[in-house]
């Protein structure tokens, strides 16, 4: 049942599209998912997106007439001002593709696009953990690390829309090379693959300590993932705890830097890795304060994100409200 | 000769106070300097400031009647909203001292205070290298590294006025311990004392390469300073060049991070160390782009600051115009 003021939020990823009808309270009323054909031509990519939106309309007869707008989040680079998808590595179908204009033409409503972390940050401030805060730093920590900055209730885009690439801020300029080419980015140090890599290295060095982690990975060291480490920690495994605490320490350095640079009103952390680090939220807060010169760092709320796997749909919808 | 619209900018440091009459074009018409009594009581500190201002008035008879306001920059922490100097390590005379209110009461004009790098950043945007840019990152690289962020033409203060401590952003979380207690801050890696320290270490390891630097330091390795290194480079010394290029590389990592996080419209660099790095500005620009994921990083203007040693006076004056 569509609310009269409802909007549609669309989350475009490298393998799937999720579209949801979102009410003015930021609640996802209903949603639809479709595979994303990301390595075909531009039309095939577009058809994946309209397929998900059409599926949503099919299941919600009133929605097509009543929706106020469509907001789409996708991996960057893209240009939120012009609505152009520029050249995302995992959306090869689109190169300087006018996604917003194409979708707007098709459905006759205003369409906004933005990158996924920016959009999710806005959803948190409008409807989630960030309500009431003006300047917010948001991070989604999963397979990668995406971040968004909200200033005065609006997404901060920077000069060309490429600001807030906080996952590629380096805290170790001589450290391991990240997929982006830089060294020691927080993403290469502390996202999911880094946790798995560190676990495998520790197990190789001290096999006797790795028994629980390896068992949870089905007996194979190669199969150890960040999820395995999270599960092992939940089961009380000391090695898993050690790895997660090291991850907390790295994230704390990064958040301390963020406070020293930005001193936001609140920091919100979401994503799959953060969910697994939930037991360590107090340590993260305390350690971040140790890694900041700001004497009032510990007063800055460090909050778990409200939205989980649906942050992309909520983010897309948030773009319709304000950008 | 005082301009009718002139303001006074005051630069309060740990050892001296400089006050200047500044016209609406940001030109310092005349100035006066006095020693700062920073380790006495609050009244002695205040008398140092009023001494400099009074000296300025003595030399410019019209100024006292015509000035529109007084802006004061000082080392932080201080609160620009309330005009309170909180507890700067090198201004022990003042602890939660209402500097703005005291000066305003004495001279009967509005008084603003802010930290020195924030104020200098604003002066650059109003009158200097940053004219025409909305979002600007400013850094003053000297004995320490102070930074300021201008958003939309105004100083960005953050939650409590403690934002933009870019000198204490770490790019080497396992690196040397900074005076602030953190490890691997750009200040401990690349400010003047780091250049001198690195020079002395290289000379100790390879005395044959250090001849020119040591000679310029009067024959003593212990007397080698960042200035000596700058002079040796100007004289064509390869060791000095090597040290300055290492410094450029560290600053490039830091500026690359800054672009990835903030993507400003322009970056402005001033201070004594930067003056000595002037021959390497092109390398700094090129290396910063290598250390950024932003494909258009090299388009962001990286500019030498307009103001030099007088940036504090100009900064103070800028506070009267807008904050």
E strands in A249-297: 266-270
Cβ pair B293:A174 closer than 8 A: no
> Nearest by CB to B171, which of A173, A181, A293?
A173
Confidence category of residue B61, pLDDT binned at 50, 70, 90: confident
Given a cut of 60, whether residue A36 has pLDDT beyond it is yes
Tokens, residue B276: 């000595």
Q: Which CATH architecture has domain B7-122+310-321?
A: 2-Layer Sandwich (3.30)
Q: Sign of torsion, CA A281 A286 A290 A293?
A: positive
Please give the residue that has the higher pLDDT: either B323 or A138: A138
3-state secondary structure of B74: strand
Least Cα separation, residue B9 to chain A (angstroms): 26
Confidence category of residue A76, pLDDT binned at 50, 70, 90: confident
> Nearest by CB to B170, which of A151, A257, A262?
A257
* Residues of A whose CB is below 8 A from B168: 260, 293
> Any idea where the domains of chain B sit in the sequence?
7-122+310-321, 132-304
Cβ pair A165:B250 closer than 8 A: no
User: What per-residue confidence (pLDDT) applies to B135?
Assistant: 98
Mean pLDDT of B129-156: 97
User: What per-residue confidence (pLDDT) applies to B1?
Assistant: 45
Query: Which residue on chain A is closest to B172 by alpha carbon?
Result: A172
Strand-pair partners of A183: A177
CB A67, CB A5: distance < 8 Å: no
Q: Does domain A7-116+310-321 have CATH number 3.30.420.40?
A: yes
Least Cα separation, residue B67 to chain A (angstroms): 34
Q: List residues of chain B with CB under 8 Å from any CB of chain A.
A: 77, 135, 149, 151, 157-160, 162-166, 168-174, 180-182, 184, 250, 253, 256-257, 260-265, 291-296, 300
Given a cut of 90, whether residue A322 has pLDDT beyond it is no
What is the average pLDDT score of chain B? 95
Cβ pair B253:A170 closer than 8 A: yes
Q: Residue B268: what are its φ and ψ, rounded to 5°?
A: -125, 130
Least Cα separation, residue A190 to chain B (angstroms): 13
Residue in A81, A134, A158, A186 to test binding to B, most B beta-carbons within 10 Å: A158
Check for a shared fold between A7-116+310-321 and A129-305.
Answer: yes
> Nearest by CB to A260, which of B165, B253, B295?
B165
Q: Which residues contact A322 (CB under 8 A, 6 or more apart)?
A: A122, A126, A153, A154
Given a cut of 50, whether residue B248 has pLDDT beyond it is yes
Tokens, residue A54: 């059409």
What is the C-alpha separation between B134 and B156, in angstroms, rounded?
Answer: 12
Q: What is the CATH number of domain A129-305?
A: 3.30.420.40
User: What per-residue confidence (pLDDT) applies to A214?
Assistant: 97
3-state secondary structure of B7: strand
Count CB atoms within 10 A of the CB of residue B37: 18
Helix (H) or strand (E) holding B270: strand B266-270
What is the average pLDDT score of chain A? 95
Among A62-66, A123-127, A241-245, B29-33, the minimum mean pLDDT is found in A62-66
Task: Give me the count of residues in chain A.
Answer: 323
Place of tokens 């100083």: B155
Confidence category of residue B4, pLDDT binned at 50, 70, 90: low
Mean pLDDT of A179-200: 97
Least Cα separation, residue B175 to chain A (angstroms): 9
CATH topology of domain B132-304: Nucleotidyltransferase; domain 5 (3.30.420)
Closest by Cα among B314, B323, B301 to B23: B314
What is the C-alpha separation between B215 and B219, in angstroms, rounded?
Answer: 5
Count CB atoms within 10 A of the CB of residue B88: 20
Given a cut of 70, whether residue A109 has pLDDT beyond it is yes
């Amino acid at each position: 049942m569509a609310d009269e003021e409802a909007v549609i939020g669309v989350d475009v990823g490298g393998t799937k599209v999720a579209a949801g009808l979102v009410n003015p309270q930021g609640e996802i009323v209903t949603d639809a998912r479709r595979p994303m054909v990301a390595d075909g031509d531009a039309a095939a990519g577009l058809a994946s997106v309209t397929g998900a939106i059409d599926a949503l309309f099919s299941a919600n007869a009133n929605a097509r007439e009543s929706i106020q707008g469509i907001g789409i989040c996708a991996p960057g680079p893209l240009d939120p001002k012009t609505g152009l998808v520029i050249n995302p590595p995992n959306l090869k179908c689109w190169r300087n593709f006018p996604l917003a204009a194409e979708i707007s033409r098709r459905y006759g409503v205003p369409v906004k696009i933005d990158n996924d972390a920016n959009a999710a940050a806005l959803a948190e401030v409008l409807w989630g953990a960030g309500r009431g805060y003006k300047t917010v730093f948001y991070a989604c920590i999963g397979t990668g690390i995406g971040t968004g900055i909200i200033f005065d209730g609006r997404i901060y885009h920077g000069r060309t829309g490429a600001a807030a690439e906080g996952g590629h801020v380096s805290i170790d300029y001589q450290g391991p090379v990240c997929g982006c080419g830089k060294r020691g980015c927080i993403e290469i140090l502390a996202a999911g693959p880094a946790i798995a890599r560190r676990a495998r290295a520790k197990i190789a060095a001290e096999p006797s300590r790795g028994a629980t982690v390896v068992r949870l990975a089905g007996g194979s060291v190669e199969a150890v993932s960040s999820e395995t480490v999270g599960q092992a920690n939940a089961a009380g495994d000391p090695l898993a705890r050690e790895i997660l605490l090291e991850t907390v320490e790295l994230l704390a350095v990064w958040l301390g830097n963020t406070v020293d640079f930005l001193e936001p009103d609140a920091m919100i952390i979401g994503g799959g890795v953060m969910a697994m680090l939930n037991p360590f939220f107090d340590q993260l807060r305390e350690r971040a304060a140790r890694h900041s010169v700001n004497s009032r760092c510990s007063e800055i709320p460090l909050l778990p994100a409200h939205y989980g796997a649906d942050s992309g749909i909520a983010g897309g919808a948030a773009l319709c409200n304000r950008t």
